[in-house]
Amino acid sequence: MTSAALLRSVALRRMGRDEPFPFSVPAIRTLDTLDVDAPVTFFVGENGSGKSTLMEAIAIAARLPTVGSTQPEHDRTLDAQRRLAAALALVWRRRTHRGFFLRAEDFFGFAKSLAELRAEMQRQLAGVAEEYRERSAYARGLAELPMRRSLAEMESRYGIDLDANSHGESFLRLFRSRFVPDGLYLLDEPEAALSPRSQLALLAMLADMTARGSQFIVATHSPLLLSYPDAVIYSFDEPPVARADYERLEHVALTREFLADPQRFLRHLLGDRGADA
């Protein structure tokens, strides 16, 4: 089983005190060196804590392609993250050009674009059939061949209609089709589209791919994903960013307390309405 990570560490070069966003974010401003020399590293913290911003900057600095969105070098919404990426120093154990960066919200647009591309190919096939209706089946088959090959490749990789599956099924199908050995994968809140059962399926995929030399850095709120054995967890909630123990994470403690006595939480949050829940 492969245990050595591809990316060893991420460090921020010292910046001036009055630098604008994202350097004004406490977790970013106080960032020193993050050791990510583990097959799986998690970033955890409340929204706005800086974990996704750093994740985007690492993806840009590592020159990873983005799934389902404009590529980082052309995405105007990532100007600040590009400035942060330029200030990051990445130390590699073994440089890789395999892998990708995926934000959960971008996936839904990706599925829609695939469905539109498939529909366009089918329209083109119908047009070829009409154009070649007076010609031989052989001639028509030759004209259709490039489009049929493209359709077959797409359907083999993503299924007949990725957009028609549940979000969780589509997410997992994408991962199965795009995860390859020796890849670096940055996933931003993948649990957004995954049921608890699908999150467990993703954990199994992580185990399979890390055994084949891949590395994952995942920003998440999910206690299920955070339970991955021997993962390194960094908390962004209190600067500076620091390693955290799974058992001491607020996400984990709060989830356990709620599941142990949900009525107590509901009564506190909802008053009389919670008492009847």
Residue 221 CA to residue 228 CA, distance in Å, equals 13
The answer on 231 and 139 residing in a single domain is no
Dist CA 30 CA 165 (whole Å): 42
**Which phi and psi (to 5°) does residue 2 adopt?**
-80, 130
> Is residue 172 in a domain?
no
For residue 53, give the nearest of 225, 235, 191, 219 by alpha carbon. Answer: 219
**Is 170 contained in some domain?**
no
Domain span at residue 154 reads 107-163
The bridge status of strand 33-35 relative to strand 184-188 is: unpaired
For 75, the 3-state DSSP assignment is coil
Total count of domains within the chain: 3
**Looking at the structure, do residues 189 and 159 belong to the same domain, yes or no?**
no
Q: What are the pLDDT tens digits along the chain (277 aa)?
A: 445 689 999 999 876 667 889 999 999 999 999 999 999 999 999 999 999 999 999 999 999 988 765 666 667 778 999 999 999 999 999 999 899 998 877 765 666 666 666 777 778 888 888 888 888 988 888 888 888 887 777 666 555 555 445 556 777 887 888 899 999 999 999 998 788 999 999 999 999 999 999 999 999 999 999 999 999 999 999 999 999 999 999 989 999 999 999 988 888 888 766 555 5
Q: Tell me, yes or no, whether 225 lies in a domain.
A: yes
